A and B are shown apart, each in its own frame.
Chain A
Amino acid sequence: AQSVSQHNHHVILSEAASLELGCNYSYGGTVNLFWYVQYPGQHLQLLLKYFSGDPLVKGIKGFEAEFIKSKFSFNLRKPSVQWSDTAEYFCAVRSYNQGGKLIFGQGTELSVKP
């Protein structure tokens, strides 16, 4: 069955540190890839997405992610985190032959210390 793995359950960083959150998926076909963020008490918000083309995608708030097809990975990065990036981050995958549903990873909680 298709699955998504996020390797880090909880990441603690100081402000200005660089961030990389891992995401791997298990499906071999064509996929769409997403990162969502949930700030405390708020809705899941789309950070960035990959459908096709340039495997390096840029999203909101300085985040970017790189799709590496050979590694089935879609890691999220930010060069310098801020306290306001404290949130939970979810990687999600949609495969071409499985309708519209998203398959989520378990989420990574990011805590940024001021």
Chain B
Amino acid sequence: EPEVTQTPSHQVTQMGQEVILRCVPISNHLYFYWYRQILGQKVEFLVSFYNNEISEKSEIFDDQFSVERPDGSNFTLKIRSTKLEDSAMYFCASSEVMGQGKKNIQYFGAGTRLSVL
């Protein structure tokens, strides 16, 4: 089964530093997503991305966050100035289509654990 790949698996950073989390979606997928899970809490939607634009974002996804598809394969999440509360597992996902069709299955990566000290 094709996989979504995320790097690094664990990122440790100091508060106030910028971090970039990287994802390689499945090659023929066009829609990309970031979710996060703070320890002990639910997996929460952050943002969806299509055709080099944000399709939808949650309240969590404020000006400190940005996403980019810098080339044909990578999809990145940048946090400009990390806070302690940004510590979480960040999951990338991709899908072939969006909307309600049966091909809209989101495939997830293994996640990047971000620890902000």
Contacts and interface: CB of A to CB of B under 8 A. Distances in A.
Interface of A: 4, 30, 32, 36, 41-46, 49, 51, 90, 92, 94, 96, 99-107
Interface residues of B, number: 29
Nearest to B47: A101
Interface in B8-35: 31, 33, 35
A85 B3 CA distance: 21
Nearest to A41: B110
B100 interface: yes
Contact of A101 (B42, B48, B102, B110): B48
Interface in B52-108: 55-56, 58, 91, 93, 95, 98-100, 102, 104-108
Contacts of B114: none
Nearest to A97: B100
Contacts, number: 63
Contacts of A104: 35, 42-44
Contact of B106 (A4, A30, A102): A102
Contacts of B91: 44
A100 B102 CA distance: 12
Contacts of A105: 42
B105 A46 contact: yes
Contacts of A4: 42
Nearest to B97: A100
A100 B56 CA distance: 9
B48 A107 contact: no
Contacts of B43: 90, 92, 102, 104, 107
Contacts of A90: 43
Contacts of A30: 100
A100 B42 contact: no
A100 B55 contact: yes
Nearest to A31: B100
A32 B100 CA distance: 8
Contacts of A100: 31, 33, 48, 55-56, 95, 98-99, 104, 106
